[in-house]
Structure 1
Amino acid sequence: MATGVPRAEPDGDGFPESGRRRAEPSGPRLWVLLAVIAAGGATGALARYAITLALPAGDGFPWATLMVNAAGSALIGVVMVLVGEGRGRWGHPLARPFAGVGVLGGFTTFSAYALDFRELLARGEQWLAPAYAGGTVLACFTAVWAGAALTRSFVRRSAQ
């Protein structure tokens, strides 16, 4: 059934150029894509859980969630450069769905961040809760920028 919506053909890495509509997988390709994302998500979630078990509970501040989200954001910056900008560096078209959507989507956690914020408020930490909320956002934006910048620098140097 035609919808009248033009579909872009993917470029060499399986995704269309920016600004164009992405081709939607269907049939067996869709199930492969979903399986790859699910495998990545399970891997990322297990890694996050292992890190939260390994870190001490500490002083009641949600250090584990903050560190996991900042580290995941830095890795998102790395993946954006290697997969999104580095056409052909990670030649397989399933690299971005596995690493970016799956692994890093399962590794980072907005739900724990929101629950930690709520818990700080419930404990009466009126100044710490908003500091945590804003500090996490700032840390994650800084981390994704730094991860991308360092990876671009490394890729340029290794290409010379």
Structure 2
Amino acid sequence: MRHEADDAQAHAHHPTAGGASVGWGMAVRATLHCLTGCAIGEVLGMVIGTALGWGNAPTMVLAIVLAFFFGYSLTLYAVTRAGVALSAAIGVALAADTLSITVMELVDNGVLLLVPGAMEAHLSDGLFWGALALAFAVAFLVTTPVNRWLIGRGKGHAVVHQYHH
């Protein structure tokens, strides 16, 4: 649980916290980090679901669960490598990634549902990979301003950057 002293420390590491001058570069990097974990999980989930002959709903659920798993795992790896205990690192990952991954998953799965035939496409179909690439691109564009907003308030990946020193 964070205390006022922790918040002050976070703001000291992030003088732009408050929103006005947060750069897009940090938001883009945070979103690319999120996209990497989401993409690994989504693709793996879709490959597993498709290979097992599952329907759309269970395949999508597996892909979303794996997207969260890999998204959180990337942060856990980085933060524990910086010397943070696993129990504290879990809190950091949850604080840093939950909203970003949620937005990314809502958008990219929404796009996939809107692309005609995308959910019925097989792994060997260009439509599958094209729709997935489009979904990730749209999700990236929508999630980047969310991450900028979070970082500007000392939240999201601003929490993780405390441990990069």
State the TM-score, normalized to the length of structure 2. 0.31
Larger radius of gyration: 1
